[in-house]
Amino acid sequence: MEQSNIYTNDQLNTEMDEMDELSAQENDNFGVQLNEPKAVKVIKIQPSGIPSLLKQILNNQKQIMSNQEKMNVRLQNLEKATKESARERANLMVQNQSIHECKVLTKKIFSSIRRITGELENEIHSKISETLPLTCLDAVEEVEEKLNNKEYLSTMKAHLFQIKGATGTIEDVFRRVMSDDLIDLFNWDGRAEKRALNSLKLISDVLYDVFFIEGRYNYEMKLKKAIKMSHKRSKQKAYLKRMHND
């Protein structure tokens, strides 16, 4: 026998009550969800309450910004220095080029001067080489006259410097300037009926300039000694000549 689906009045009432109760519960829940949203907590952090980690992060950020500013300044200075250095290098290159050009021009000028004056200087130098050592009074007078010419004077001095070299002594050069026979007619100050060497420009001025580092006093002392040695050689030569004749 099939189960009957017909509700009694009591059953219908009970079923309706249960449905109303469920509906009321759903409405209550829905109302809570719509009308009572969850509250959102807003936390306000005061500076004094910033956690130590956040403080460290902020300090690090400040340090990074400071370092960036320093780096920017350094980069700007480096860029400025690089530009200035490049400008200085360019100026230096220009100066070096100008100096090089001046040296080349100077060299050409001196080369031209040497070509112009070289033959004359060589001629004077050759004549001086042929003249020295002086052997007679006429030659002495001739040289003294020529020494009034500046060009001849400078060439004579250069020739004596060449004779001296690095180690030449006063006596060495003096013997190349005047022969012993000629020196025998002189002494330093012209005593005992001798001629005075200190009155000759060739000896008192030109030869002294070659040995100026000695000083005037030492120069005269050493030259007097050289004169004395020359006189001694002349006497020995005369003695040997007499001995040979006998």
pLDDT digits (tens, 9 = 90+) for 80-112: 777 777 777 777 777 777 777 766 766 665 565
User: Which pTM does this prediction carry?
Assistant: 0.51
pLDDT of residue 125: 79
d(CA 74, CA 68): 10
For strand 195-196 and strand 186-187, is the pairing parallel, antiparallel, or unpaired? parallel
Helix (H) or strand (E) holding 27: helix 9-35
In order of 120, 128, 155, 158, the CA distances from 116 in angstroms are 8, 20, 16, 19
**Residue 206, H or E segment:** none
Q: What is the model's pLDDT at position 31?
A: 44
Q: Which residue has the tokens 């200190």?
A: 198
Q: Where are the domains of the chain?
A: 53-118, 132-237
* CA 134 – CA 195 distance, rounded (Å): 15
Query: Which parts of the chain register pLDDT below 70?
Result: 1-55, 102-103, 105-121
pLDDT of residue 75: 78
Residue 224 DSSP SS3: helix
Amino acid at 173: V
pLDDT of residue 146: 95
pLDDT at 39: 52
By three-state DSSP, how is residue 46 classified?
A: coil
Distance CA 11, CA 211 (A): 156
